[in-house]
Structure 1
Amino acid sequence: MKKLLLIALVTVFGISHVNAQDIQFGGKLGINFATINGDNTGTLDPITSLVNFGVVAEMPINEKFAFLPELMYSIQGFSVGDDVVALNYLNLPLMGKYYISKGFSVEAGPQIGFLLSAKDEDIDVKDNFKTVDFGANLGIGYKLDSGLNFGARYNLGLSNINDVEGASDSFRNGVFQVTVGYMF
């Protein structure tokens, strides 16, 4: 966890020379395909959620590199048969972005997520999950000159989110996201 925070701080302070006039702001929304990975998760099925939205800033460092902090609301979780467990997170991805060619980019970076709520149907199960989640993201994107952009990303959960007292199973989030956005 300390290494992840150190990387985030170095990234933020490393872009301090960015010209404020070059920063673009925008929003994006998308679809999540989420599941839980780890011990004894063979009976868990993925869920599809139409809720993944938030705000983004793109801070160019040079022609090829940019820093991309985001603040995203994301419904993640899993299902067992017809029973869906929805984990609602406020995620803060801190992405490095590299433009391979005009408009086309690859992205990678750490993410910290804050669990806002957890529901098993209408039952509050937030106490069964840790309130902070750390992950790593890897993705691709394409941005048109108009500001319209498209992306696909995978979030690999790095921390155990299981907080059931006495349980030894380790659970980690796994989320594939497809998004569309607009930069102003």
Structure 2
Amino acid sequence: MKKLLNISGLALGLILVGLTFMNVNTADAQPNIGVKGGLDFAKLSYSSSGASISSSSTTGFVAGVYTNFEMSSGFMLQPELLYVQKGAESTFSNTTTTTTLDYIEIPVLAKYGFSAGGSSFKPYAAAGPYLGFNVNAESESSGQTTDISDNVKGTDFGVAGEVGANISGFNIGVRYDLGITNIDDSASGSGMGDTTNRALFITAGYSF
């Protein structure tokens, strides 16, 4: 049932993104469609009794497509469809466990491009919500990999903020994902309170 709900939610998300692309293509302003990819440095945050505890970060990758279209001078809306690896690395009693959480993530960002005169270097800032659908969850410890999908919620909601620059069609960006929802779905809980995702992305892309 959980996998069916994940698939249904993902299908709905893809439909919404598809409708956004269709609406953009029929708008007066011509959209930019692009691809992007890079690295992310992710960890999990545990909140218990008002205290916040963070794990060590783990390195993954992010890749996907995006479109943006101008709403007014300098202001754009940028929906994206990304594959993101999140997770964490934790050490207990001299045993290191690496948790890998893979998501199909759909951010919708409000983006503002700053004027740089006639220069091809155009900085920007962006922020907005994201919705992630978990497609894989596993932990690795002492050379053994365990499927932990039943212990991880199928969806993750949060907010993202990014700064970067466009350079003649190319773009570079640094983004921070702040998870809001508790992703722990185990019967007994983690024992450390709410568990939320955190991730820092460094990406490069190209707009067609």
Shorter-chain TM-score range: 0.7 to 0.9
Residue from 171, 181, 184 that aligns with 1:149: 171
Residue 162 (structure 1) aligns with: 184
1:62 maps to a residue whose letter is S
1:28 maps to a residue whose letter is K
Sequence identity (%): 30
Provide the C-alpha distance between the structure 2 equivalents of 1:131 and 1:47, rounded to a whole number of angstroms.
21
Provide the C-alpha distance between the structure 2 equivalents of 1:79 and 1:42, rounded to a whole number of angstroms.
13
Provide the C-alpha distance between the structure 2 equivalents of 1:43 and 1:89, rounded to a whole number of angstroms.
20
Q: Secondary structure of 2:183's match?
A: coil
Provide the C-alpha distance between the structure 1 equivalents of 2:54 and 2:158, rounded to a whole number of angstroms.
23
Kindly report the root-mean-square deviation, in angstroms, between the aligned alpha carbons of the 2 structures.
2.2
The answer as to 2:66 corresponding to 1:56 is yes
Residue 178 (structure 1) aligns with: 202
Residue 4 (structure 1) aligns with: none
Residue 3 (structure 1) aligns with: none
Q: Secondary structure of 2:150's match?
A: helix
The answer as to 2:103 corresponding to 1:84 is no
Provide the C-alpha distance between the structure 2 equivalents of 1:75 and 1:180, rounded to a whole number of angstroms.
16
Q: What are the ranges of 5 or more consecutive residues in structure 2 without an aligned counterpart?
A: 1-15, 117-121
Residue from 110, 131, 137 that aligns with 1:96: 110
**How many residues get paired?**
171
Provide the C-alpha distance between the structure 1 equivalents of 2:207 and 2:54, rounded to a whole number of angstroms.
40
1:109-128 aligned at under 5 Å gives the runs 109-121=128-140, 122-128=145-151
Q: Secondary structure of 2:188's match?
A: coil
The answer as to 2:148 corresponding to 1:139 is no
The answer as to 2:41 corresponding to 1:19 is no
